[in-house]
Amino acid sequence: MEIRIQSIHFDATNALQAFIEKKASKLERFYDDIKKVEVSLKVVKPETAMNKQAGVKVLIPNGELYAEKVKDSFEEAVVESLEALEKQLQKFKEKQMGK
């Protein structure tokens, strides 16, 4: 599984990238055939507290899943996006089993 991290208009620290890779790799527990995970990070409206946006796209055979959250920190936003994707992957897997 390939994990791609894109930080828009800023440079993500190595610690943040390592954190994202560690968390994103856990998605494989929910679905075996994940081809790629794309994480995009950007700062929205810098004057507010809740300004860190993380969008996570998971590419799987026959489709893609997406979740996006805006939080106080990128870590929080990534964790919540990945939790949403875990639920989506479980539903997708259940549909696959039902066929």
Mean pLDDT of 58-73: 95
Mean pLDDT of 62-88: 96
Write down the pLDDT at residue 99: 62
Q: Distance between CA atoms of 94 and 87, rounded to whole angstroms?
A: 11
2-17 residue pLDDT tens: 999 999 989 999 999 9
Asked whether the beta carbons of 77 and 54 are under 8 A apart, the reply is: yes
Residue 24: strand pairing partners = none
Look up residue 64 and give its two tokens.
Answer: 């893609």
> What are phi and psi for residue 5, nearest 5 degrees?
-115, 125
State the CATH class of domain 2-98. Answer: alpha beta
20-44 residue pLDDT tens: 999 999 999 999 999 999 999 999 9
Q: Where are the alpha helices (DSSP H) in the chain?
A: 14-25, 74-98
